[in-house]
């Protein structure tokens, strides 16, 4: 029997039926057993990952006919030296060469393409790859050399490994070496080695590892690609599931998109390999998506505070393409596939912006950012403290965005309220801000810290309070927001400036004009149409309705309302933007505090999701909101229907008292109080300064027996300071 087995083995080796290299055979009790070597197993892993990469690239390439047609067009336009005459190979344009080359590689290697295996296309691909290598484009922005270029090169080479005719080995080898030389390392120092940047560099390490058969590079690439899914208090995914990049700067969109993109790509690349065992931190990615990322999109569009300097890019707010990433998440995170299906329906416009949106209120205490989302609307707020950074002006983008961190609020029902408005905005009147009208400040290139510490929020997951102690551009103010089910109460006190000749204004909104404007002026209803309205008010405006968003002015006040055509250019906010003029019809609404105000104040209530005049009248008649106090020491609001009270205590040892209640605190803080059906009292409390270890509260309240005093321990770690706590009083 052993002789027969040995003979079969010899025949197999001689005929090639058994591999000589990459396998070891042993005899055990007369049986032939093949033992695959480590090299052979590793090679199978590299091939499997490259197969998965190709399958994803084919699946996400879009319409096959369009891809093939584009490849044929690029073939017809390419020069003999492998360049395209319409490209200058400087700046961002150099990336276009690789994008065209990738399209050609897709068409050449996809057996469903009409250009599959086309000999002329292969020649052009080799020429274009050789031209790129010889040209050696270099960009002043490290991102291109370390992320944009090597990622594209890696994908192109992996596609061409599946081609009828291979790329010349010397050219492939030199191109891969270039990837290694200029592509950086995912664990390098500084911002390139953190968060989304780390993941993007790690991805082309994975490409290079598979192309060269380097297990050490693959091990490191996969480990580094998943590393940023761990929660951190540095740059990256935060304990409150916000996302910070370029220092402590909120970047839920933009770099947050990269986190989702790379993590889902790599997870599917390494599926069905030893690297595909799953990562313990993938739950963090799922929570970031469900609790944060998807909530900052209304319909198809980002809320404008969510995506950093991307606000200055044409169509930068459009998230319809995020459907592709959600399809990947459905494979990875099957337990939440219904949530992803609902989000995709909103993103592709097959369902309205309200579809599947949960009611939730979150103050992201690590980011100085607040998000209030309901099925009928979304409201977001951006502030800044000494612990966080203002919006950056990096690479000549977001040139006018300085005031975005000064209490900017975006209010969306349909999601289209601000789409592409930004080149035509008056950036000195960003919604929610209190600023000197007409005054512009250019942000520093990579962000500026805030100047105050009393900035934060408290939440019970459905309602909340946020505060911003503003001291910016010689304008000071105590700004507070009280978030309820139907409305957001916006208060300002102590508005003060000592310089400048400009009027100080608080902007309620500056959005695209969407239909008629209806007002109640001393109970007289008026309707205004068109883009040529300019109105001034002095304590005679009750409420305004525009674009399904209502605004109530409980204290009246001096203000203005306009509907007009506004013109600007993308180049005015982004140095790479078009210089062509853009015109939008814009709705503007503001309160005027005059020149050099001292201790001015404002109060307005935003009521999103109002469908028509009758509903607005009905809301105004209810009078649900009682402003208890709006001063520099205390700002307080009562919601009559829900019984929720909100208090902002700006000073230590402060007490609020009226005929029925009294509340005193030992230190500046935020307190939200609600009576429970059991007769108990629920208090949600937060320390905006993030410095307190304990807080004493004394409460006199209907239903409680006498004054109740409690001393509460507050979160103090870097991961938890500023987080809301809850206590129950009997």
Active site (catalytic) residues:
246, 255, 309
Strands 662-665 and 634-639: unpaired
Strand positions, DSSP E, 323-415: 360-364, 369-374, 377-382, 408-412
Whole-number Å distance between alpha carbons of 614 and 605 = 18
Whole-number Å distance between alpha carbons of 369 and 558 = 29
Instruction: Name the phi and psi angles at 606, rounded to 5.
Output: -95, 130
Token digits of residue 510 = 């500056």
Question: How does DSSP assign 444-465, residue by residue?
Answer: PTT--B-S-S-EEEEE-SS-EE
Whole-number Å distance between alpha carbons of 526 and 513 = 17
- H/E/C letters for each residue in 254-323? CHHHHHHHHHHHHHHHCCCCCCCCCCCCHHHHHHHHHHHHHHHEECCEECCCCCHHHHHCCCCCECHHHH
* Residue 97: partners with Cβ closer than 8 Å, 6 or more residues away: 83, 84, 87, 89, 128, 131, 132, 137
Other CB atoms within 10 Å distance of the CB of residue 361? 23
Reduced to 3 states (helix: H, G, I; strand: E, B; else coil), residue 705 is coil
If you search the block for the tokens 């987080």, which residue do you land on? 723
Helix axes 169-182, 195-212, angle to 10 degrees: 150
- H/E/C letters for each residue in 503-515? EEEEEEEEEECCC
For the chain, how big is the Rg over CA atoms in Å?
Answer: 30
Token digits of residue 41 = 């197993």
Element (H, E) at 24: strand 23-28
* Residue 498: partners with Cβ closer than 8 Å, 6 or more residues away: 474, 596
Other CB atoms within 10 Å distance of the CB of residue 102? 19
Please state, in angstroms and as integers, the Cα–Cα distance from residue 489 to each residue in 229, 246, 303, 598, 602, following that order: 36, 32, 19, 22, 11
CA 299 to chain centroid, in Å, comes to: 15
Whole-number Å distance between alpha carbons of 156 and 125 = 10
Question: How does DSSP assign 557-595, residue by residue?
Answer: -EEEEEEEEEEEEGGGTBTTS--SEEEEEEEEEEEEEEE
Q: How far apart are the first and last CA of the chain?
A: 87
Instruction: Name the phi and psi angles at 93, rounded to 5.
Output: -60, -30
């Amino acid at each position: 029997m052993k002789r027969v087995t040995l003979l079969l083995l010899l025949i197999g080796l001689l005929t090639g039926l058994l591999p000589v290299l990459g396998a070891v055979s042993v005899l055990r009790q007369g049986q032939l057993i093949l033992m695959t070597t480590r090299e052979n197993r590793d090679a199978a892993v590299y091939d499997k990952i490259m197969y998965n990469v190709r399958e994803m690239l084919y699946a996400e390439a879009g319409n096959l006919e369009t891809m093939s047609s584009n490849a044929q067009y690029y073939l017809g336009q390419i020069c003999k030296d492998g360049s395209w005459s319409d490209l200058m190979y400087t700046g961002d344009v150099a990336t276009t060469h690789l994008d065209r080359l990738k399209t050609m590689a897709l068409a050449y290697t996809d057996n469903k393409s009409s250009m599959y295996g086309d000999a002329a296309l292969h020649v052009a691909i080799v020429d274009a790859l050789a031209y790129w290598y010889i040209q050696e484009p270099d960009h002043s922005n490290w991102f291109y050399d370390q992320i944009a270029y090597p990622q594209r090169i890696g994908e192109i080479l992996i596609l061409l490994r599946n081609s009828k005719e291979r790329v010349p080995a010397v050219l492939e080898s030199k191109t891969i070496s270039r990837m290694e030389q200029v592509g950086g390392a995912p664990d390098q120092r500084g911002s390139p080695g953190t968060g989304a940047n780390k993941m993007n560099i790690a991805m082309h390490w994975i490409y290079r590892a598979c192309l060269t058969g380097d297990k050490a590079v693959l091990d490191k690439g996969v480990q580094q690609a998943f590393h940023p899914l761990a929660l951190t208090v540095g740059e990256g995914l935060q304990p409150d599931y916000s996302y910070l990049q370029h220092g402590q700067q909120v970047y839920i969109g933009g770099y947050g998109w990269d986190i989702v993109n790379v993590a889902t790509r790599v997870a599917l690349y390494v599926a069905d390999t030893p690297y595909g065992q799953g990562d313990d931190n993938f739950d963090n990615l799922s929570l970031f998506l469900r609790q944060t990322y998807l909530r900052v999109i209304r319909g198809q569009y980002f809320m404008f505070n969510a995506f950093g300097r991307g606000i200055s890019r044409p169509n930068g707010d459009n998230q319809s393409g995020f459907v592709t990433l959600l399809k990947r998440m459905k494979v990875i995170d099957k337990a939440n596939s219904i949530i992803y299906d609902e989000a995709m329906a909103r993103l592709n416009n097959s369902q309205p912006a309200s579809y599947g949106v949960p009611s939730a209120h979150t103050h992201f205490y690590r980011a100085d950012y607040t998000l209030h989302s309901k099925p009928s609307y979304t409201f977001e707020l951006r502030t800044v403290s000494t612990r966080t950074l203002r919006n950056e002006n990096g690479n000549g983008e977001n040139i006018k965005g300085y005031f975005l961190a000064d209490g900017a609020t975006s209010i969306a029902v349909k999601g289209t309220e601000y789409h592409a408005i930004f080149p035509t905005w008056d950036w000195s009147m960003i919604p929610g801000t209190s600023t000197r009208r007409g005054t512009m400040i250019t942000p520093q290139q990579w962000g500026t810290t805030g100047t105050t510490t009393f900035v934060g929020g408290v939440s019970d997951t459905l309602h909340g309070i946020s505060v911003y102690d503003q001291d910016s551009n010689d304008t000071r103010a105590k700004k507070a927001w009280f978030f309820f089910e139907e409305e957001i109460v916006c208060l300002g006190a102590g508005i003060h400036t000592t310089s400048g000749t400009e009027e100080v204004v608080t902007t309620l909104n500056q959005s695209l004009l969407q239909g008629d404007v209806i007002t109640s002026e001393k109970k007289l209803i008026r309707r205004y149409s068109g883009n040529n309205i300019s109105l001034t008010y002095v304590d005679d405006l009750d409420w305004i309705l525009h674009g399904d968003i209502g605004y109530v002015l409980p204290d009246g006040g001096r203000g203005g309302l306009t509907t007009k055509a506004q013109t600007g250019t993308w180049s005015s906010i982004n140095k790479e933007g078009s210089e062509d003029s853009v015109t939008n019809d814009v709705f503007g609404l503001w309160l005027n505090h005059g020149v050099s105000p001292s201790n001015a104040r404002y109060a307005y209530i935003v009521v999103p999701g109002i469908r028509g005049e009758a509903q607005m009248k009905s809301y105004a008649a209810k009078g649900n909101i009682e402003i208890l106090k709006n001063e520099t020491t205390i700002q307080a609001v009562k919601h009559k229907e829900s019984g929720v009270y909100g208090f902002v205590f700006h000073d230590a040892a402060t007490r609020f008292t009226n005929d029925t209640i009294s509340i005193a605190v030992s230190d500046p803080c935020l307190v939200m109080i609600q009576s429970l059906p059991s007769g108990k009292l629920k208090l949600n409390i937060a320390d905006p300064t993030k410095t307190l270890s304990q807080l004493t509260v004394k409460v006199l309240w209907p239903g409680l027996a006498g004054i109740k005093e409690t001393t509460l321990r507050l979160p103090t770690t870097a991961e938890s300071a500023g987080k809301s706590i809850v206590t129950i009083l009997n």
